[in-house]
Amino acid sequence: MHVGIAGAGLLGRLLALQLSAEGHRVEVFDPASGPGSRETSGTQAAAWTAAGMLSPVAELDRSNEDVFHLGLRSCALWPGIAQALGVPQVCHFDGSLLLAHRSDAGAAQRLVGLLQAKAGAAYQPQALQAEALAQLEPGIHGPSLAWLLPCEGYIEVHNTLQALHAQGTRQGVLWHWGRTVAAVEPGALVLSNSVRAEFDHVFDVRGVGAKPALPVRGVRGEVFLLHAPGASLRRPVRLMHPRHSVYIVPRPDDCLVVGASEIESEDRSPVSLRSTLELLSAAHSAIPALAEARVVHTETNLRPSLPDNLPVVRHAPGKTEINGLFRHGWLIAPALVEQALQELAL
């Protein structure tokens, strides 16, 4: 089968990998100038900006049981995908931490109660005393309450996206960079220059770029990349905060990513002063060694979101749409791709 894919973000690359591995001829179209990050290609794919947290339990605060089960399935799939890509080291499953200062104890207890009620017995948050927290993460000082979510982890997003592109290329995927898809029709991708590329089946995974065919909106998020050699961190951390879902996630080469705001706006302009002060102050309050960290990069991007903030997989003859992954892209993308291809019997 000859397959066309509109969008070379995470979903597009996972689809290309799986379909080409099964012997299909695959072509991928994307407006970015190349396969790299925004600095090198101008890509607007949200996957490059994301922290890569694999946290199905913690996200029950903001999602439903469908996302929870998709997340659990993706956590089971990611190690095999990374192994097939030749980069098993990009997956980390040492659990994640939920932290709270004493002033946020009430909100933290309510959140933990919600997670306990919605997650199964095998996925319950585990309360940590100060000594146990210090053994897990010696660099954390300040928060008085802590819980371990043992089934969670994170994935190195940049290394994984690069590996997906490289393996897809080895499997014969054709990547058409600098080609914007203006419309997706059954069996065809219509490019911005009115050229019509015909296929046996097409996938629309353009995220925010799928408007107006889907009622998708962009939700602004701001993140910070810190170089922090003195602030060792082995697992993702979430910190209770009155305004933001604050997280701190390890990255290679002594770096950490701190995020993220969640603003109902499609503004991609640079990070705001308010978000900078609030997010970085919160991170410093949990890891004091961040005082000497260097801010090496800031980034703003849009999370593709549908009105109910839930994902959709929609099939029509010759065409499949996958969209609305919101803040759960890395958490649920492999499971959604698996689901879509099973439904199509591809």
Q: Running along the chain, 346 residues long, what does each successive block of 10 average in pLDDT?
A: 98 98 98 93 94 97 94 98 98 98 94 94 96 97 96 97 98 98 98 95 98 96 96 95 90 96 96 96 96 97 97 98 98 98 93
Beta-carbon contacts of 170 under 8 Å, excluding residues fewer than 6 positions away, are none
Q: Domain of 185: which CATH number?
A: 3.50.50.60
Same domain, 267 and 335: no
Same domain, 301 and 226: yes
Same domain, 300 and 163: no
Among residues 314, 176, 43, 190, the alpha carbon closest in space to that of 323 is found at 314
pLDDT of residue 183: 97
Same domain, 12 and 137: no
Task: Read off the tokens for 342.
Answer: 């099973």
Same domain, 179 and 290: no
Give the structural domain span for 174.
Answer: 2-50+158-215+307-344
pLDDT of residue 346: 80
Same domain, 265 and 312: no
pTM of the model: 0.97
Same domain, 201 and 141: no
pLDDT in tens, 179-199: 999 999 999 999 999 999 999
Residue 72 lies in a domain: no
Same domain, 240 and 279: yes
Same domain, 199 and 338: yes
Looking at the structure of the chain, the number of domains it has is: 2
Q: How far apart are CA 338 and CA 110, in angstroms?
A: 34
Residue 179 lies in a domain: yes
**Phi/psi of residue 210, nearest 5 degrees:** -80, -10
pLDDT in tens, 214-251: 999 999 999 999 999 989 899 999 999 888 889 999 99
Same domain, 200 and 339: yes
Same domain, 295 and 242: yes
Q: How many CB atoms lie within 10 A of CB 74?
A: 23
Residue 80 lies in a domain: no
Residue 274 lies in a domain: yes
pLDDT of residue 230: 84
